[in-house]
Chain A
Amino acid sequence: MSEKAVEEMSFEEAMAALEGVVGQLERGDVPLDQSITLYERGAELKKRCEAKLKEAEEKVHAITLGEGGQPTGTKPVEGL
């Protein structure tokens, strides 16, 4: 189990951790009380994954450039 807090995990990390937890549980060689801890962690990871998946939001901006080609800001892009 990774030491990183679940809330700080990226989707990918949470996914890998969840996969690990499921695999461990399915192997069935974990002591029972640890199984329950694992399950709880799995549920937490699953929640994190779902939250990350729900964050799917499209936001498209184009960078505006100054004279020297340096970015000065962004402007929303629509209609593409």
Chain B
Amino acid sequence: MSDLFEEPETGVNAPEFTVTEISGAVKRTIEGSFSRVRVRGEVGRVSKPRSGHLYLDLKDDRSVLSGIIWKGVASKLQTLPEEGMEVIATGKLTTFGGQSKYQMVIEDIAPAGMGALMAMLEKRKALLASEGLFAPERKKPLPYLPEVIGVVTSPSGAVIRDILHRLRDRFPRKVLIWPVAVQGAKCAPEVVNAINGFNAMTPGGALPRPDLLIVARGGGSIEDLWGFNEESVARAAADSEIPLISAVGHETDTTLIDFVSDRRAPTPTAAAEHAVPVRLELLNWVSEQDARLTRALTQAVSQRGQRLRDVARALPKPEALIETASQRLDVATARLDPALRQTVQVKRIALEQRSAPLKGGALMQRVRHEQDRLKVLSGRAAPGLSRSVQQKRQSLDQRIARLRIPVLIQDIERKKEKLNTISRRFSLQGKTQLSKWEAKLDAVTRMHQTLGYKETLKRGYAVVHSDDQVITSKSAAEKATALEIEFHDGRVAFAEEKTKTAAKSVKKPTKPPEQGSLF
């Protein structure tokens, strides 16, 4: 301040503010003038830091207004602002001195009329559809008869009652109710939590896992139903592994969840009808099936019985089966003998044809032929032989002619003479020799007679024989069985008896009876 006084500037006598002072003055002015305003604009960038406050821009084609929704307000909002949404924000303007900024503190924010809501809904639909979440092939079939049905709805009110009533009428089932707020800011997160919670249950766990979900709400204004248009709810329904029926509002109301649910029911009651079949009808159906079963079996049996009878009728008699064969046998039998005979005949003819060349004619002819040949040959043989003899004879004659007969005769004469001479000499010589030998023989004979034992016998000697042996000793005589004594005029035989004298007188012949040989 002192500086200001020391160096005063001309024309400057306005009071001076500190930044804070001026900032505060501006704040007061703005807050005073705009303590409650409604601003219509498009939501620009939205950010939600961890503090829980919600920061957003409101904009139109030329200007931007920063906005802030305090945490406490944000949690109560029915519709959370989204970028691009046309909204009407209610609140007051204020400044943020720290950044030389003015901004709007929004106490309420709502889509700018139905058109804006619907436009937003269309945008979400387009987004989800582009992700394929509405595709028919994504839709899961509902179980025919669910054991446990999970219902996501308000625990009090007409909706759950309608559902339970209709289930009771059709087919009483186990029902698990997951209580949720069906409108207001809590609606969407609670519904999301419920859908996810049911899916998180494990089959056979502490809580029975439903095999079908119904997300239901009664009719209401579009704002009331808005929670079911939230993207988070639609995504949770799309992600549900358990088949899900949506039944939100009345027939004419269509919310985002209806596009992603596996089945859309126009009303909660209709949802119950989709959920379970009618038990009575099923009982009827079963008994009908039973009847059909029995009828079909009976019919099957009777049809077969009929067919059996038909077929049996069509079956030929056994005799008929063999008749033809029997007849054929007869025919064949009748043909057998002639056939055999015929065969023999044929064979015989064939044999005859074959043996014909062997018989009579040909053989005889051949023999005759050979005979003829023989005759010719033998006819040629005799002349040949005589010719040969002739030739030989001629040859012999020639040789004979060449022989010199007279020479031969002379030779023979000469040799004959020589032979005669030799014969004469030989004969002469022989005669001489012969007479010599005769003389010699006479002398020898005489000597022999002189020397022979027979001559001795004449002088009174005897020879004792036994068995053709000459007995010369006493011992031999004793051994002999018979003795024979030879005298010069004959023999006397003795048997057994032996005279000593005789034995003594017997003398040994001086010579053997045999004479020496002549030569």
Q: Please report A residues at the B interface, Cβ cutoff 8 Å.
A: 10-12, 15, 18-19, 21-22, 25-26, 28, 30, 32, 35-36, 38-39, 42-43, 46, 49-50, 52-53, 56-63, 65, 69-71, 73-74, 77, 80
Question: Within 8 Å CB of B120, what residues of A?
Answer: none
Alpha-carbon gap, A15 to B297, bound state (A):
19
B31 to chain A: closest CB distance in Å? 39
The answer to whether residues A11 and B293 also contact, given A61-B176, A69-B193 and a CB cut-off of 8 A, is: no
Question: Any chain A CB within 8 A of the CB of B124?
Answer: no
Give the contacting residue for B155; candidates A12, A50, A56, A62; CB below 8 A: A62
Contact B144 A57 (CB under 8 A): no
Question: Which 5 residue pairs spanning A and B have beta carbons closest together?
Answer: A58-B172, A25-B296, A12-B144, A62-B177, A42-B293
Give the contacting residue for B286; candidates A46, A59, A63; CB below 8 A: A46
A sample of 17 inter-chain contacts (CB < 8 A) reads A15-B144, A25-B292, A28-B299, A28-B303, A38-B297, A53-B279, A58-B173, A60-B174, A60-B177, A61-B174, A62-B155, A62-B178, A62-B179, A63-B176, A63-B177, A71-B207, A80-B160
Alpha-carbon gap, A51 to B442, bound state (A):
176
Question: Any chain A CB within 8 A of the CB of B369?
Answer: no
Question: Within 8 Å CB of A63, what residues of B?
Answer: 176-179, 197, 207
The answer to whether residues A77 and B155 also contact, given A32-B300, A59-B174 and a CB cut-off of 8 A, is: yes
Question: Within 8 Å CB of B343, what residues of A?
Answer: none
Question: Within 8 Å CB of A43, what residues of B?
Answer: 290, 293
Sample of 17 further A-B pairs with CB below 8 A, known A18-B289, A62-B179: A18-B286, A21-B293, A25-B296, A26-B292, A28-B296, A42-B290, A43-B290, A50-B286, A53-B279, A53-B286, A58-B167, A59-B175, A62-B176, A69-B190, A69-B197, A70-B197, A74-B207
Q: Give chain B interface residues in 125-172, CB to chain A under 8 Å.
A: 143-145, 155, 160-161, 164, 167-168, 171-172
The answer to whether residues A50 and B177 also contact, given A22-B292, A25-B300 and a CB cut-off of 8 A, is: no
Contact B145 A74 (CB under 8 A): no
B310 to chain A: closest CB distance in Å? 15
B299 to chain A: closest CB distance in Å? 7
B424 to chain A: closest CB distance in Å? 150
The answer to whether residues A80 and B161 also contact, given A57-B172, A63-B207 and a CB cut-off of 8 A, is: yes
Alpha-carbon gap, A77 to B153, bound state (A):
14
A11 to chain B: closest CB distance in Å? 4
Alpha-carbon gap, A63 to B205, bound state (A):
14
Question: Any chain A CB within 8 A of the CB of B340?
Answer: no
A77 to chain B: closest CB distance in Å? 6
Q: Mark B406-430, 1 if CB is under 8 A from A, else 0.
A: 0000000000000000000000000
Question: Within 8 Å CB of A35, what residues of B?
Answer: 296-297, 300-301
Alpha-carbon gap, A22 to B178, bound state (A):
41
B347 to chain A: closest CB distance in Å? 60
Question: Any chain A CB within 8 A of the CB of B375?
Answer: no
Question: Within 8 Å CB of B123, what residues of A?
Answer: none
**Which residue, B164, B178, B193, B289, has most C-beta atoms of chain A within 10 A?**
B289
Alpha-carbon gap, A70 to B206, bound state (A):
14
